[in-house]
């Protein structure tokens, strides 16, 4: 076995590989870009080498820099993860030329599957069923070909990936436009505008088979169903495929093994099939689409049902060991799901988002593969995936219920996410029955994308949370009566004023324009109007979040916050309106930080917390508790800055 390997990747997959390497006693070298100097994968690794700028082409795509890092650190092998250089045959050759082991297939095998048209021709020869269509070299007269195949057809870039350069065409009159746009996109994305044409399979399901080869022989580790897609991108994956028959599983497994053996495949790979499910799953209705010559994002569902650690297998086979198990020793235990948690704005058309994760927590007992920690940034440089949540159960129903609960208890603040969308999918009735096809999400995207809005009970809890977590104010509360406090909460930028009247320890009445609620809190949790509720409240740098089935994020604008007013810059805290000073929390000489609570003013029957506008030392306190003050009166003066 290797003593030390280098991981030519970042994010969750780098962390995932480190976990297994560590468990095998293999030391790990990470590489990182400017943007990732403090990233989780760098922290986890034994050593880390800086390889360049934030843009992938300045770092994670710089093969020579990565090979140089491996040499400099004495790593013996390179694990490519997925994406970046993982399917680049030139990189594989360069790694090998440097005397290092590439943990993956040969450059030749990658090339054989690199272009969709050549791969289809090769598979046809190997007796693997392919989608009816045209994948010849000639690119003239494609419209005639499409007509012969029969509409609807799918135009695909031969160099394609990630759904790019792909267009579905339903009618002959739309063909020319679709072709031009597919070619344009392909030229830009892949520098190759050649396309192929396929029959568009009706009621399509995406079912792929995990294979593993030793360079000659291969085994398969059963199928994954990745039919829940949006714009040809996978959203939730599962294994095994719902409705799969033993006959079809055997046929697909054998076809996948034939595909892998036809190219002398070594390592982990995936053979993707499109299945015509218009008539249920039938052993004669699956067609080869492409082979991904690397570890897939969704590999954990296969690990969950087979008990195999695919990264361990990758390292062992790359180190020269035989395949760890024979086909007959592999079997399926139960069912597994994976959901991809992304920083993206679903109601805004799944717009990728960025942000600092001011709070991040995953439920216990669920596999969460992630490359980020609380406080980390989702930057615009890389894929905005936050984590993959994987659940496993004895049956599909149990595994799906666990997924739904895992999503309900995942807490992310600081960026918008697709959590609510994923949870809506996990609760979708048709999906629950296993009725999946690649069009499901598109057909129902509107209902699935509805952003949850906090009810008045949730807002009441948030208001108490905002007040309760302010230790100074709470202490102050026990001293003053009437114990009334006003809280302004903004949800999606919409401010709402709530009045919180503390009735006793852990008990308050919250009044808003919409409703009045009795809220209690304490060691046993929250209750609203006498009913316990499973809410959790977290205060963080971006505001306050209530986690209650969904994630509800509030900001806490203080409409009367004078810290940003003119007095603040002058180092003064002034009364924003006439009122009674209820408490002063500082004395002359005290060091304060921007945002610290300095005093409480009661005005118009509400209490207003006055905060420091900047860091500094208190020069003078001009008002005592109990004093009646005029609007604009200076209450506290800070020393001059200098």
**Given the rule CB under 6 A, which residues bind ligand ADP?**
131, 154, 156, 160-164, 166, 198-201, 204, 206, 229, 232, 272, 274, 289-290, 438
Nearest-approach distance from CB 229 to ligand ADP, in angstroms: 5
Distance CA 393, CA 370 (A): 21
Instruction: Give 360's strand partners.
Output: 412
CA 288, 277, 251: angle at the middle one, nearest 5? 45
Nearest CA to 519 out of 452, 468, 469, 453 is that of: 468
Nearest-approach distance from CB 297 to ligand ADP, in angstroms: 12
CA 190, 195, 197: angle at the middle one, nearest 5? 145
Among residues 278 and 331, whose Cβ is nearest to ligand ADP? 278
Contact of 263 with 112, CB cutoff 8 Å: yes
Helix and strand numbers, DSSP H then E, in the chain: 19, 40
DSSP state of 577: S
Distance CA 429, CA 438 (A): 16
Nearest-approach distance from CB 222 to ligand ADP, in angstroms: 18
Nearest-approach distance from CB 201 to ligand ADP, in angstroms: 4
Among residues 116 and 402, whose Cβ is nearest to ligand ADP? 116
457 is catalytic: no
- SS3 label, residue 23: helix
Among residues 160 and 576, whose Cβ is nearest to ligand ADP? 160
Residue 180 phi, psi dihedral angles, 5° rounding: -60, -40
Concatenated DSSP letters of 108-152: HHHHHHHSHHHHHHHHHHTT--B-SEE--S--S-HHHHHHHH-SS
Among residues 334 and 352, whose Cβ is nearest to ligand ADP? 352
Nearest-approach distance from CB 494 to ligand ADP, in angstroms: 38
Among residues 442 and 620, whose Cβ is nearest to ligand ADP? 442
Residue 163 phi, psi dihedral angles, 5° rounding: 75, 0
Contact of 19 with 36, CB cutoff 8 Å: no
Among residues 36 and 225, whose Cβ is nearest to ligand ADP? 225
Contact of 234 with 228, CB cutoff 8 Å: yes
Among residues 192 and 509, whose Cβ is nearest to ligand ADP? 192
Tokens of 365: 């007992």
| Active-site entry in 62, 167, 205, 294 | 294
DSSP state of 218: E
Nearest-approach distance from CB 438 to ligand ADP, in angstroms: 4
Among residues 232 and 433, whose Cβ is nearest to ligand ADP? 232
Distance CA 309, CA 17 (A): 10
Which residues touch 48 (CB under 8 Å, ≥6 apart)? Answer: 29, 30, 31, 32, 42
Nearest-approach distance from CB 164 to ligand ADP, in angstroms: 6
Largest separation between any pair of C-alpha atoms in the chain: 92
Distance CA 621, CA 626 (A): 14
Distance CA 96, CA 259 (A): 24
Contact of 51 with 59, CB cutoff 8 Å: yes
Nearest-approach distance from CB 553 to ligand ADP, in angstroms: 33
Task: Give the torsion through C-alpha atoms of 205, 206, 207, 213, to 10 deg.
Answer: 160
Residues with catalytic function? 294
């Amino acid at each position: 076995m290797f003593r030390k390997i280098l991981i030519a990747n970042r994010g969750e997959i780098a962390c995932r590989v480190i976990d297994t390497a560590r468990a095998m006693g293999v030391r790990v070298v990470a590489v990182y870009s400017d943007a990732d100097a403090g990233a989780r994968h760098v922290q986890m690794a034994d050593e880390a080498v800086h390889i360049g700028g934030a843009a992938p082409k300045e770092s994670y795509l710089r093969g020579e820099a990565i090979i140089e890092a491996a040499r400099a650190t004495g790593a013996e092998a390179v694990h490519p993860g997925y994406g970046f250089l993982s399917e680049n045959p030139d990189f594989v050759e360069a790694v090998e030329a440097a005397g290092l082991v590439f943990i993956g297939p040969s450059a030749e095998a990658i090339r054989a599957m690199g272009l969709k048209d050549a791969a289809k021709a090769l598979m046809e020869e190997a007796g693997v069923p392919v989608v009816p269509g045209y994948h010849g070299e000639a690119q003239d007269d494609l419209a005639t070909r499409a007509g012969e195949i029969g509409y609807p057809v799918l135009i695909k870039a031969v160099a394609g990936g990630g759904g790019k350069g792909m267009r579905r065409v339903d009618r002959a009159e739309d063909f020319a436009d679709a072709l031009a746009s597919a070619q344009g996109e392909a030229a830009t994305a892949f520098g190759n505008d050649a396309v192929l044409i396929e029959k568009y399979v009706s009621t399509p399901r995406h079912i792929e088979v995990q294979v593993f080869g030793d360079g000659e022989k291969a085994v398969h580790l059963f199928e994954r169903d990745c039919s829940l897609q949006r714009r040809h991108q996978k959203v939730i994956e599962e294994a095994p495929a719902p409705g799969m028959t033993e006959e079809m599983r055997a046929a697909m497994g054998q076809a996948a093994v034939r595909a892998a053996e036809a190219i002398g495949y070594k390592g982990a790979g995936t053979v993707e099939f499109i299945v015509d499910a218009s008539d249920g799953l039938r052993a004669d209705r699956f067609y080869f689409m492409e082979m991904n010559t690397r570890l897939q994002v969704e590999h954990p569902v296969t690990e969950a049902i087979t008990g195999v650690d695919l990264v361990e297998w990758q390292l062992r086979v790359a180190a020269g060991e035989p395949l760890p198990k024979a086909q007959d020793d592999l079997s399926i235990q139960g069912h597994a799901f994976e959901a991809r948690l992304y920083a993206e704005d679903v109601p805004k058309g799944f717009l990728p988002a960025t942000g600092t994760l001011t709070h991040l927590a995953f439920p216990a007992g669920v596999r969460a593969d992630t490359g980020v920690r609380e406080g980390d940034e989702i930057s615009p440089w890389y894929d905005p995936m936050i984590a993959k949540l994987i659940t496993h159960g004895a049956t599909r129903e149990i595994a799906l219920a666990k997924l739904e609960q895992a999503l309900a208890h995942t807490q992310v603040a600081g960026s918008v996410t697709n959590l609510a969308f994923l949870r809506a999918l996990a609760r979708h009735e048709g999906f629950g029955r296993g009725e999946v096809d690649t069009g499901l999400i598109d057909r129902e995207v509107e209902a699935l994308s509805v952003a949850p809005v906090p009810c008045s009970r949730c807002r009441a809890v948030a208001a108490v949370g905002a007040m309760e977590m302010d230790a100074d104010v709470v202490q102050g509360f026990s001293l003053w009566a009437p114990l009334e406090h006003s809280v302004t909460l903004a949800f999606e930028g919409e401010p709402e004023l709530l009045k919180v009247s503390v009735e006793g320890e852990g008990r308050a009445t919250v009044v808003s324009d919409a409703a009045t609620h009795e809220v209690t809190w304490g060691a046993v949790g929250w209750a609203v109007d006498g009913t316990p509720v499973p809410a959790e409240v977290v205060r963080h740098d971006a505001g306050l979040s209530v986690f209650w089935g969904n994630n509800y994020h509030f900001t806490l604008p203080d409409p009367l916050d004078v810290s940003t007013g003119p007095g603040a810059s002058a180092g003064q805290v002034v009364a924003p309106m006439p009122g009674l000073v209820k408490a002063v929390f500082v004395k002359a000489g005290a060091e304060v930080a921007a945002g610290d609570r300095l005093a409480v003013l009661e005005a118009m029957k509400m209490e207003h917390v006055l905060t420091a506008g900047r860091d500094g030392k208190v020069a003078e306190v001009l008002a005592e508790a109990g004093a009646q003050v005029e609007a604009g009166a200076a209450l506290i003066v800070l020393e001059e800055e200098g």
